[in-house]
Structure 1
Amino acid sequence: MFNFSWGVLFVLVNFTFFLICYKFFGRKGLYAWIGVATVVANIQVAKTIDMFGIVMTLGNTMYVSLYMTSDLLNEKFGREEARKAVWFGFFTLIMTTVIMQMVLVFEPQKGDFAQDAMQKLFGLMPRLALGSLTAYFISQFLDVQLYAWIRKFYPDRNQLWIRNNGSTMVSSFVDTLIFCTIAFAGLYSLTEWLEILFTTYIAKFVLTAVGTPFLYIARNFKHPEDEAALLKSAS
């Protein structure tokens, strides 16, 4: 029960920081969020927790916030801007993986206490990163395309929830399937793997719905630099 109540607070804090990031830093803040969330999610996913007797991985909240970010960019600035953000997140993950693997190669000093912990956390990162890179690349670009496609049929301002939930719920399943296959296949029994797969997707499904009101709030924020850029591109 503690993990559930703490998880509710955790989700609210994460999505609130997402709003703050966009409110104060505008479109640049969304790019920054993509970079940070991509790295943090891939660190968090190494930790598994028990919630109501079900094995779950962390990182789901951050992953869902990535879809929220690309959908917000798509909504306000267009498909090309969303694609650019996806490429930025892809680069951030590659950069972090390469640099952290180089860090682990350094010989630690006798009194060093961090090497073992870092080895455990980032030692699995190549496999996690391969799963993340593949899943991220495919699912995020799929989300951008789906969002734009759904928008053709549901273009009204009050239909944002259809565009957001429709694109994210499909692409997040693709993301979960690819990631779990590459990152966890063979590490867990088939039963545990299926449990992680379905609980992870269900968590993302619920989090997408929970994040929708935050997306509506974020869409109404106006940032001077962004508004000026939009007016310039429209003229």
Structure 2
Amino acid sequence: MNELLWIGFALMDLTLVLIIYRFFGRIGLFGLVVFNLILCNIQVLKTVELFGFTATLGNVLYASVFLSTDILSEKYGRKAAQKAVLLGFVTLVMTAVYMQIALRFVPAPGDFAQPSLETLFGFLPRVALGSLCAYLVSQFHDVWAFHFIKERTSGRHLWLRNNASTLVSQFLDSAIFCLIAFWGQFETSVFLEILGTTYVFKLFVAIADTPFIYLARRITPLDERPGAEDAA
């Protein structure tokens, strides 16, 4: 039941973005960007069958990164969103470097983890490179487009800037990432299928997050309520 599991996973992840934001505010969103970015670059190595197509995991978590940065853009401005993008970039670089160092350690005779770590993180540099390039281009475009549309519509039509900025950004992300990470790793037909389905599934989650960003706009995090600093 991959399809039901995928839909449930998407709804759970988007809901948790709001819960984390409610309790931890913008710091929580920064943490989510880092967490989801690292985890989705591990999950993306797994291919699954969804709705009759071959797709990679990770598209749900990556789509929620866009929701997090859109909330930051909407409520805290361009600089806050760009800071989250750069934080995600730095942590992904650190993850790739640290895991390559970990793989260089000679394992003990009774170690059982090395082969599994090599399978996952031996491929990570190429995935990380693709993700870094795609992430920077798509996220900075998303932040720019979000504020461009917001200025042109005088702050109205949140649904428009949320979806329009994300739809183009997700296409840039999918195209750049798949070309760098997967070109030559699969047959051409499978590669094109992965590229197409990756974008379509990210697109679905991006559209599904529209009510969530409206809910986020109505949320006042606990640490931003009047008297929160005095209570702390």
- TM superposition score normalised by structure 1: 0.93
1:62-101 equivalence runs, <5 A: 62-101=61-100
User: 2:191 is matched by which residue type in structure 1?
Assistant: W
Q: Say if 1:60 and 1:200, in contact at 8 Å, map to a contact too.
A: yes
> How far off is 1:220 after superposition?
1.1
Q: What's the CA shift string for 1:195-222, capped at 9, x where partnerless?
A: 1111110101111111111111112110
Q: What's the CA shift string for 1:109-153, capped at 9, x where partnerless?
A: 111111111110111000000000000011100100000111122
Where in structure 2 are there 5+ consecutive unaligned residues? 227-232
Corresponding residue of 2:186? 188
> How far off is 1:53 after superposition?
2.3
1:120 aligns with 2:128: no
- Equivalenced residues, count: 226
Residue aligned with 2:209, SS:
helix
Question: Distance in 1 between the 2:48 and 2:153 partners?
Answer: 38
Question: Distance in 1 between the 2:196 and 2:65 partners?
Answer: 20
Where in structure 1 are there 5+ consecutive unaligned residues? 229-235
> How far off is 1:224 after superposition?
4.9
> How far off is 1:227 after superposition?
6.1
Question: Distance in 1 between the 2:137 and 2:224 partners?
Answer: 28
Residue aligned with 1:209, SS:
helix
Question: Distance in 1 between the 2:195 and 2:138 partners?
Answer: 15
User: 2:21 is matched by which residue type in structure 1?
Assistant: Y
- TM superposition score normalised by structure 2: 0.94
> How far off is 1:156 after superposition?
4.1
Question: Distance in 1 between the 2:211 and 2:91 partners?
Answer: 28
Question: Distance in 2 between the 1:19 and 1:80 partners?
Answer: 21
Deviates more, 1:127-136 or 1:97-106: 97-106
Question: Distance in 2 between the 1:65 and 1:187 partners?
Answer: 27
Question: Distance in 1 between the 2:162 and 2:15 partners?
Answer: 18
User: 2:169 is matched by which residue type in structure 1?
Assistant: S
Question: Distance in 2 between the 1:177 and 1:119 partners?
Answer: 26
Question: Distance in 2 between the 1:84 and 1:156 partners?
Answer: 22
Change (3 A) 1:153 1:76: same
> How far off is 1:19 after superposition?
1.3
Corresponding residue of 1:177? 175
Q: Say if 1:11 and 1:61, in contact at 8 Å, map to a contact too.
A: yes
Q: Say if 2:24 and 2:222, in contact at 8 Å, map to a contact too.
A: no
> How far off is 1:225 after superposition?
3.8
1:1-235 equivalence runs, <5 A: 2-157=1-156, 159-226=157-224
Q: Say if 2:2 and 2:49, in contact at 8 Å, map to a contact too.
A: yes
User: 1:97 is matched by which residue type in structure 2?
Assistant: A
User: 2:214 is matched by which residue type in structure 1?
Assistant: Y
Q: Say if 2:24 and 2:223, in contact at 8 Å, map to a contact too.
A: no
Residue aligned with 1:119, SS:
helix
Corresponding residue of 1:232? none
Question: Distance in 2 between the 1:120 and 1:185 partners?
Answer: 18
Corresponding residue of 1:231? none
Q: What's the CA shift string for 1:66-93, capped at 9, x where partnerless?
A: 1111111110011111111100000110
User: 2:171 is matched by which residue type in structure 1?
Assistant: F
> How far off is 1:226 after superposition?
4.0
Question: Distance in 2 between the 1:52 and 1:103 partners?
Answer: 38
Question: Distance in 1 between the 2:205 and 2:199 partners?
Answer: 10
